[in-house]
Amino acid sequence: MTGHRQSQETGEPATDEWEKVAAQCRDCEAVYSAWVLADGTVQPIGRKDGCRCGSSEFEALSR
């Protein structure tokens, strides 16, 4: 019987709890692909420093 499933405890964030959305900068209105984290934080993908305009405030757009 192979009812045994291996869990992946790698210490990485639980990406299945993240939601990929489009997010818009509150400042310059640039739109990025972003993750909405489990706590509601909007994190633009590949832009850990935030928007090109220097803002780090994003609003998730409707999916």
Nearest distance in Å: CB 63, Zn ion? 21
For Zn ion, the closer CB: 5 or 48: 48
57 lies in the binding site for Zn ion (CB under 5 A): no
Q: How many residues line the site for Zn ion (CB under 5 A)? A: 7
| Residue/partner pairs of 50-57 with CB below 8 Å, 24 or more apart | 51/25, 51/27, 52/28, 53/25, 53/27, 53/28, 54/27, 55/25, 55/26, 55/27, 55/28, 57/25, 57/26, 57/27
**Where on the chain is the footprint of Zn ion (CB under 5 A)?**
25, 27-28, 30, 51, 53, 55
